[in-house]
Structure formats: C-alpha cells, structure tokens
Structure 1
Amino acid sequence: MKKAVLLVDDHGIVRSGLRALLEMEPDLCVAGEAADGIEAIAQVRRQAFDITVLDLSMPGKDGIDTLRDLQRIRPDMPVLILSGYAETQYALSLIRAGCRGYLSKDADPNEIVKAIRTICAGHRYVSAALASLLADQLAQPVDRALHELLSAREFQVFHKLASGRSATEIADELCLSVKTVSTYRSRVLEKMKLKTNADLTYYAIKHALIN
C-alpha cells in the first residue's frame, strides 16, 4: 500500500513540484495538500496520513505552531520539516520539538524521497548537515547557540516574541494565560542572557530565525 503524504506549503509551485516528484515513486502518493497550518489541521482531523511534509514560514499559523498542533491531534503521525531555512538555523530546535526530520528546500530531490521513506519506516531522518551539527554539539557542547538551549515551548514563545507578538496575542494563540506566557518570556530572556523583546528580535534577525 502506498504511503499517504500531506504537503503543507503556502507556495503552490512548491506543492506542485513535490507532488510531481512523489507521483513518480511507486510507494508514495500525495493524499492531501494545504496552503497553511489551519488548512493542514483541518485535513488531518478529517483523514489519516502516513506523514506530513511541512514548511516553516507560512502566513497565519506558522510551521512551529502547526507542528505542535499536529502532534496533539495525531501523535503517531510523523512530520518532516522542509524549509527555506538552513539546518543550522532551526533543525536542532525542531527535532527537539518533535519533528522526525529536517531538510532545507535546496536538498536534492532524491534525498527528499529518501527522508520520507525513512520516516515512514519509523525512523528519524538525519541529513549530512544535521549530522554535522550534532557532531559539533557533542564535541563542543558549550558552543551551542543560545536559542538551542530553549525547550520546545520556550523556543515557540521566543519566536513569537521576536516576531513582534504581544504576551496577550501569544496567550490567545497558544491557549495559555498571559501570566504563563510572561513566565516563559522570563525564562527565555534568562537563558539567552538578554533583557528586552527588542534584544530577542535583534538576535532572531542576526541568526536568520525570522525574515
């Protein structure tokens, strides 16, 4: 039986390219497409997929939020992040957040197919770039980027604060209290040795974590 793939990307041309790539494979089929996180969640509620291939940068609900919601709704469905951001920027944080693999969009098409097959077989997919990051982290753990010290939820709050969201907006989006968001903000600032939201934004821009 072919593995059912859900493609989530706000660019139709990207989804079309991935569909054409996967339709050439005898064991894979694109069973659904979504242009944003809200549409993806609606589809996953309606039907089961063997894997979701998810973009990070989308309007409205971004890939980080969508990943967390997909894990809550379908905890057994693996997610492969396919992003315009390089592995060095997001991969380690999102692997810790629960995705089963991370590839940048400039990956070779054969590697994308290989990653999907590997993840559908129940394994994580570690690209050469991610393997190098992991090796560097083991060799020099003190040199980890500050945002890599954050937990999955802290990273999610950090990304929203850096993008200009207020505590009230973040609380509404994540179904948390404003007090809880403020607590996460304090932890993020402490771990990253920063003082203000503006510092978080500057850090995120410097490390290409936001556009």
Structure 2
Amino acid sequence: MLRLAIVDDHGIVRAGFREMLVDELGIRIAFEAASGEEALEKLREHDCDVLLLDLSLPGQSGIDVLRIVRQRYADLKVLVLSGFPEERYALPMLRHGANGYLCKDCEREELLKAIQTVARGRRYVSGRTAELLADDLAGESTAPAHESLSERELQVFLRLARGESVSGIAEALNLSVKTVSTYRSRLLEKLALASNAELAAYALQHGLMVA
C-alpha cells in the first residue's frame, strides 16, 4: 500500500485530490496538512511514501518544506503540485530535490502516473518540463536569472519580495541577520537589481509570488 500525504492550504484543493484518489487501489491517504509547519509535524508522526506538496503555503513555504524534507527524510518522494506553470518553477524545484513537478489543473490519469513514477524512485517530468530540460542541456535556454539561484537564495529572495524584513527572515530560516544580509546583497548582484522594491517588482513580473 502506497502511503500518500497531501499538503495544500486550501481545503477544497485537498478534497479534490482526495476525491481523485479515493477509489484508487494501492493508495492510502496517510495525512493531510494545511501548512508547512503542520506537514513537518505530521511527518514525525506518520509514515509516508509520497508527499504531494504545494509551493504556496502560509508560514513555511513549499520551498522551505522541500529543503527540510531533503535533510531529514532522504527516502521520501516529493511531488510538487503548483498553480504556477512549469516555466516558473519546474526546473528550480527539480534541481533542489523534488522528484516531480505537476500543475494543479492536471487530469486524474496524469496525477496517478506522476505518483506511481516517483514512488518507483524515478523523476516525473511532464512533456513541457522535458522540453525545458532539453533546451537547458542544449544551451538554448532563455531562462530568467532567478533560475540560477541556489535553494537558499531562492528562499530568501521570495521572502524579501513578499516584504519580510531581514531580521524576520533570519528568524524564520534560523540564520543570522548578517547571513541573510549577505544573501540579499548576492541576490541584488545576481539579478542586477538595486533594492527590495525592485526584487518585489521582479517577482511580480515573472509570476513568482509564492505564499
């Protein structure tokens, strides 16, 4: 029996995926969670094989959760479910440890295929993501600058773009204020920007606002 967890802050979305999977033989819902903190707490209490993880969560974002899961649960498979198209986050999430990336408007058959693929230890790549990967490998990618950010840089970037303070980010990510300030300076340099306001504008322009 494959144990599946659904992490999304919208109850109607969780119910929708639960309804899609309720009659599927061989799959059991291990738990549901409405936030990153709740997901991490329940992972300590329940065994799970595949985590369906939304990117946009209150508090700890899906990116935060992915980072922690990769540190603590090496064998847990993570399938990112997102309202953002592949062009926005698929490649960064795969690079940072996700086993697959799927848009929320997927059909039931594609969801099942993705779950079964990652459960077998393989990566699930949609047709569009495969094109993006091929372009990237061929050096033909026109990927925006944010795709080159490290996992931690992406975390800090998205929090700064939401208007969080350096001290608040330091507390949330268990980093020193000096370290976060260093990340901020590095981000401004990599993205060729000059201020937090420009970081926010960049995030909006590229449709990257998470949580």
Deviation at 1:163, TM superposition (A): 1.1
The code of the aligned residue for 2:38 comes to E
Q: CA RMSD in A?
A: 1.3
CA distance in 1, matches of 2:171, 2:191: 24
**SS class of match (2:188):** helix
Q: Which residue of 2 aligns with 1:186?
A: 185
Deviation at 1:72, TM superposition (A): 2.3
| Higher relative contact order structure (alpha carbons within 8 Å, sequence separation ≥ 6) | 2
Query: Which runs of structure 2 are paired with 1:42-191 in the superposition (5 Å)?
Result: 42-141=41-140, 143-191=142-190
| TM-score between the two structures when normalised by the length of structure 1 | 0.95
Deviation at 1:36, TM superposition (A): 0.9
**SS class of match (1:6):** strand
Any stretches of 5+ residues in structure 2 without a counterpart? none
Deviation at 1:142, TM superposition (A): 6.1
Structure 1 runs (4+) greater than 4 angstroms displaced: none
| TM-score between the two structures when normalised by the length of structure 2 | 0.95
Deviation at 1:153, TM superposition (A): 0.9
Any stretches of 5+ residues in structure 1 without a counterpart? none
Please, which moves more after superposition, 145-154 or 18-27? 18-27
Deviation at 1:75, TM superposition (A): 2.1
Q: Which residue of 2 aligns with 1:40?
A: 39
Contact 1:51/1:116 (8 A) holds in 2: yes
Sequence identity (%): 50
Contact 1:45/1:73 (8 A) holds in 2: no
CA distance in 2, matches of 1:165, 1:197: 10
The code of the aligned residue for 2:129 comes to L
Deviation at 1:139, TM superposition (A): 3.2
Q: Which has the higher helix share?
A: 1
Q: Which residue of 2 aligns with 1:17?
A: 16
**SS class of match (1:102):** strand
Please, which moves more after superposition, 42-51 or 141-150? 141-150
CA distance in 1, matches of 2:136, 2:83: 23
Aligned residues: 210
The code of the aligned residue for 1:68 comes to R
